[in-house]
Amino acid sequence: QNNAPNTFTDAQTGIVFNSWGIPNGSPQSQGGWTFGMALPSNALSTDATEFIGYLECASKDAAGWCGFSLAGPMTNSLLITAWPHGDTVYTTLRYAGGYSMPDKYAGNAEITQIRSSKNATHFSLVFRCRNCLKWDHNGSTGQASTSGGVLVLGWVQAFPSPGNPTCPDQITLEQHDNGMGIWGAALDEKVANPSYTAWAAKATKTVT
Ligand code: HEM
C-alpha cells in the first residue's frame, strides 16, 4: 500500500482525510481496504490524543469485518475492529497479547460515529476515536505519535462475520482470511485541519 498519503474529502461530511490502502483488485485483499485519518490542527507539532477515522472495507453479502492496529503489529497495540450488521456498523476496541482472539481493551478509549453505509460489496464508517493514540491495557502501554509525521499501522480484513455481532463486547472471531499487513503511513499537512473540532462535534452516535 501507499506510504505517502492520498488526500480526499468525504463527500457526505466534508471531512478531509489523509488515506492509505490496498486498491480494489489487488491480490493482497479481495475488494481492497482503505483507511483515512483526520487530526486536530496542531497534531503535527503536538501529539494528538484522538483522530477522526475513515474505514472502507470489503464485505460479501453484508458479512465480514476489518480492522487496524495503531502500532503496526497485531500484538501489544490498540486494535480497532468494525463490521456491518443490519443497518449498523459496529466497532470494538481490542488488545492482544498473542496471535489469538484479542481481549476487550481495558483503557478509556471511546469511539463515536459520524456516519456509516454499506452496499453489496463494501461497508464504510466515519468515526471519532478519543484517547486512541496512547494506550494502557492493564499496564501494557504504547503510543502512536502524530508529531513524528509518520505512523506505523497494521491492516486486516476478513469475510466471515463475527459471532454475537450485535454485542461488541462479546463478539467471537475466526482468524482473518482476506489479507493483513503493516505499513508506514506518512502524514502530510492536510491531515491536521482547523475544522477538526467542528467535525469531531458531529460524532454523536454511540453504538454499543
Ligand atoms: C496477524 C491471528 C484477530 C490484526 C495475525 C497472525 C495470526 C493472527 C496468526 C500472523 C499471521 C502471519 O504472519 O502469517 C489472529 C486470530 C484472531 C485475530 C486467531 C482472532 C481470533 C485480529 C484482529 C485484528 C488483527 C481483531 C485487528 C483489528 C492483525 C494484523 C496482523 C495480524 C494487523 C499483521 C501484523 C502482524 O503480523 O502482527 N493474526 N488474529 N488480528 N493480525 Fe490477527
Distance 181 CA to ligand 1 centre (A): 9
Ligand 1 within 6 A of CB of 102: yes
pLDDT of the residue at 62: 86
Please say if the pLDDT value at position 61 is more than 90.
Answer: no
Q: Is the CB of 158 under 6 A from ligand 1?
A: no
Measured from the CB, is residue 70 less than 6 Å from ligand 1? no
Predicted pLDDT at 1: 81
Residue with the smallest CA separation from ligand 1 atom 1 is 74
Distance between CA atoms of 162 and 193, rounded to whole angstroms? Answer: 35
Sorting pLDDT into bands at 50, 70 and 90, what band is 208?
confident
Cα of 29 from ligand 1 centre, angstroms: 14
How high is the pLDDT of residue 163? 97
pLDDT digits (tens, 9 = 90+) for 1-44: 899 999 999 999 999 999 999 999 999 999 999 999 999 999 99
Gyration radius (Cα) of the chain, Å: 15
CB 115 within 8 A of CB 13: yes
Helical (H) or strand (E) element with 78: strand 78-85
Residue 53 has pLDDT above 90, yes or no: yes
The pLDDT value recorded for residue 150 is 98
Q: Which pLDDT score is estimated for 116?
A: 97
Please report the pLDDT score of residue 143 as a whole number: 97
Q: Could you tell me if 186 and 44 are in contact, meaning their C-beta atoms sit under 8 angstroms apart?
A: no
As separate numbers, helices (DSSP H) first and strands (DSSP E) second, the chain gives 1, 14
The predicted pLDDT at position 40 comes to 98
pLDDT at 131 over 90: yes
> What 8-state DSSP symbol labels residue 50?
-
Place of cell 466497532: 91
- Residue 200 phi/psi, 5-degree rounding, is -60, -30
- Is 0.95 surpassed by the pTM of this model? yes
118 lines ligand 1 (CB under 6 A): no
Ligand 1 touching residue 73 (CB < 6 A): yes
At residue 55, the pLDDT reads 98
CB 18 within 8 A of CB 6: yes
179 in ligand 1 pocket by Cβ < 6 Å?
no
**Is residue 185 scored above 90 in pLDDT?**
yes
